[in-house]
Structure 1
Amino acid sequence: MKLWRRTAGAIKDKLSLITAADEKFTAAIIKATSHNDLSMNIENVQFIYRYLQSNPSSFKPIIRAVSLRVERTRNWTVALKCLMLLHGLFFSGIMAVDSIGRLPFDLSDFGKRKSRFSRTGRFNIFVRAYFSFLDERSILFYNKNMIRIEIIVKMQRIVDSLMRIKPIGETPLVIEAMEYVISEVVVINGHICRGFASFLSNVQSNMLEISSAEAELAMKIVAKSLSQREQLFKYFEFCRDFGVTNAHEISNFVRITESQVIVLDKLLHIAPELDRKAAKVTPVTAADMAEVDLVTTEECSNSPSDLISF
Structure 2
Amino acid sequence: MKLWKRAAAAIKDQKSLLAVGFSRRASYRNTDLEAAIIKATSHDDSSVDYSNAQRVYKWIKASPLNLKTLVHALSSRVNHTRSWIVALKSLMLLHGVISCKVPSVVGEIRRLPFDLSDFSDGHSSLSRTWGFNIFVRAYFAFLNSYSSFTADQISRTRANLRSDKVDSVKQQLDRIQKLQSLLDLILQIRPIADNMKRALILEAMDCIVLESINIYGRICSGIIKILPAAGKTDAARSLKIVNKATSQGEDLAMYFEFCKGFGVSNARDTPQFVTIPMAEVEAMEKMVKSVEKDEQKQEEEVVEEEEKAIVLLEKPRLQTIITDKWETFEDDEYCFSEKAIQEYHQDPLPLVVSNQPVCYTMPDLITF
TM exceeds 0.5? yes
In structure 2, the CA distance between the partners of 1:157 and 1:249, relative to structure 1 (3 Å rule), is: farther
- Contact 2:84/2:136 (CA < 8 Å) preserved in 1? yes
| Structure 1 residue ranges without an equivalent (≥5) | 204-208, 275-310
Root mean square deviation of aligned Cα: 2.4
In the TM superposition, what whole-angstrom CA distance separates every residue of 1:107-164 from its partner, at most 9, and x where no partner exists? 0000188998522221111100100110111111122358111111111111111111
Q: Name the SS of the counterpart of 2:57 in structure 1.
A: helix
Any idea what SS the aligned residue of 1:107 has? Answer: coil
Distance change >3 Å, CA 113–CA 4, structure 1 → 2: closer
- Worse overlay, 50-59 or 231-240: 50-59
Q: Paired residue for 2:207, among 171, 175, 180? A: 180
- 1:43 corresponds, among 48, 51, 57, to 51
The letter of the residue matching 1:73 is T
Aligned residues with identical type, % of pairs: 42
* Counterpart code for 2:98: F
SS at 1:108 equivalent: coil
Structure 1 residues 195, 47: closer, same or farther in 2, change over 3 A?
A: same
1:307: which partner in 2?
none
Q: Distance in 2 between matches of 1:97 and 1:154?
A: 18
Aligned counterpart in structure 2 of residue 104 of structure 1, from 81, 88, 113: 113
Contact 1:232 1:250 in 2 (8 A): no
CA distance in 2 between partners of 1:130 and 1:172 (Å): 17
Mapping for residues 253-272 of structure 1, pairs under 5 Å:
253=273, 256-268=276-288
**How many residues were matched structurally?**
267
Matches within 5 A, 1:51-90: 51-90=59-98
CA pair 170-140 structure 1, distance change in 2 beyond 3 A: same
Query: What TM-score results when the alignment is normalised by the length of structure 2?
Result: 0.67
CA 154–48 in structure 1, closer or farther in 2 if over 3 Å, else same: same
Cα distance between partner residues in 2 of 1:188 and 1:249? 17
Q: Which amino acid aligns with 1:152?
A: I
- After TM superposition, the structure 1 stretch with the greater mean CA deviation from structure 2, 151-160 or 115-124, is 115-124
Question: Which protein shows a greater Rg?
Answer: 2
- TM-score where L is the length of structure 1: 0.79
| Contact 2:219–2:245 under 8 Å retained in 1 | no
Counterpart CA distance in 1 for 2:238 and 2:256 is 26
Separation in 1, partners of 2:122, 2:200: 23
Correspondent of 1:250 among 251, 259, 270: 270
Alpha-carbon contact 1:210-1:271 (below 8 Å) kept: no
Tell me whether 1:215 sits opposite 2:235 in the alignment.
yes
Structure 2 alignment gaps of length 5 or more: 24-30, 157-169, 296-368
Structure 1 residues 116 and 189: CA distance shift in structure 2, 3 A: farther
In structure 2, give the amino acid aligned to 1:46: Q
2:13 corresponding residue in structure 1: 13
Q: Which one of the candidate residues 70, 73, 91 is aligned to 2:99?
A: 91
For residue 223 of structure 2, what is the amino acid of its counterpart? F
Aligned to 1:27: 35
Q: What letter matches 1:188 in structure 2?
A: I
Are residues 115 and 259 of structure 1, via their aligned partners in 2, closer, same or farther at CA, if it must alter by over 3 Å?
Answer: farther
Q: Structure 1: which amino acid aligns with 2:138?
A: A
Q: Distance in 2 between matches of 1:50 and 1:225?
A: 36
Aligned to 1:155: 179
Shift of 1:268: 3.2
Residue 139 to residue 210, structure 1, CA distance change in 2 (3 Å): farther
Contact 2:172–2:226 (8 Å) recurs in 1: yes
- 1:58, CA displacement in angstroms? 0.9
SS of 1:111's equivalent in the other structure is: coil
Relative contact order, higher structure (CA 8 A, sep 6+): 1
Report the residue type matching 1:221 in the other structure: I
Report which stretch shifted further, 264-273 or 29-38: 264-273
Change (3 A) 1:251 1:28: closer
Letter in 2 for 1:62: L
